[in-house]
Amino acid sequence: MRLRTLAEVVEHLGQAGKLGIIDGTEIRVRRPAVGRKDRDRFISGKNKQNAVKAMVFTDGDGRLLFCSPTRPGSCADITHARELGLVKLLADGPAVEILADAGYQGLGAQTGGRVVTPPHRKFKKNAPGWYEEMHERQRKAHSSRRIRVEHGIAHLKNWRALARHLGRREHMDDTVQAIAGLLSQQQTADRIHAWQT
């Protein structure tokens, strides 16, 4: 089964009763030409490099379910998720649990708690020792649950075209979708082979 849209992914997770994990990933691209309109939009706020960003959706085992169209590197993860319609899909769709990192904080309140992010820090300064220990334990527990999406992203970026894209940015969406489809097919074939042996 190939999931082609975010709506199909949410429906699939709801029917199967599975956990979903999302994260944004950046792919370095060539620097836009001097004088080009919106040249600064491709500069990533995190890495300070020219990049495009895609949202990756995996299941609890790290298998790739969906890879979004790309956006310029300056786009925040939460903004990208909202533009893709994730908030409406989760608010109106089946009850699913989606794990996300701190870049998606705020989506939990908009989706009725379906998006779970790391806990907020209640103390900015002079936190008691017991609170620091509890906060670190909760943060590590959340991180260990969502580490599978990092594995999914690593499998995606094993393809040389996504390690660093040197072609035209206009073709980047097609490249990302093609590689995501190939990876999804490869993971499905591996599961069928393991099941048959």
pTM over 0.85, yes/no: no
Domain map of the chain by residue range?
A: 6-196
Residue 89: CA count within 13 A, CB half-sphere: 20
Confidence of residue 195 (pLDDT cuts 50, 70, 90): low
Which CA distances in Å does 55 have to 30, 104, 151? 20, 11, 14
pLDDT in tens, 71-112: 888 889 999 999 999 999 998 888 899 999 988 988 888 988
Closest listed residue to residue 20, CA positions, set 64, 76, 82: 64
Q: Are 148 and 58 in contact (CB under 8 A)?
A: yes
Residue that wins the pLDDT comparison between 132 and 47? 132
Orientation of helix 129-157 relative to helix 172-196, angle to 10°: 90
Confidence of residue 190 (pLDDT cuts 50, 70, 90): low
**For residue 10, which amino acid is it?**
V
Of the ranges 38-47, 66-75, 99-108, 179-188, which one carries the lowest mean pLDDT score? Answer: 38-47
Asked whether residue 28 carries a pLDDT value surpassing 90, the answer given is no
Asked whether residue 51 carries a pLDDT value surpassing 70, the answer given is yes
All residues at 6 or more sequence positions from 190 whose CB lies less than 8 Å from its CB, including other chains = none
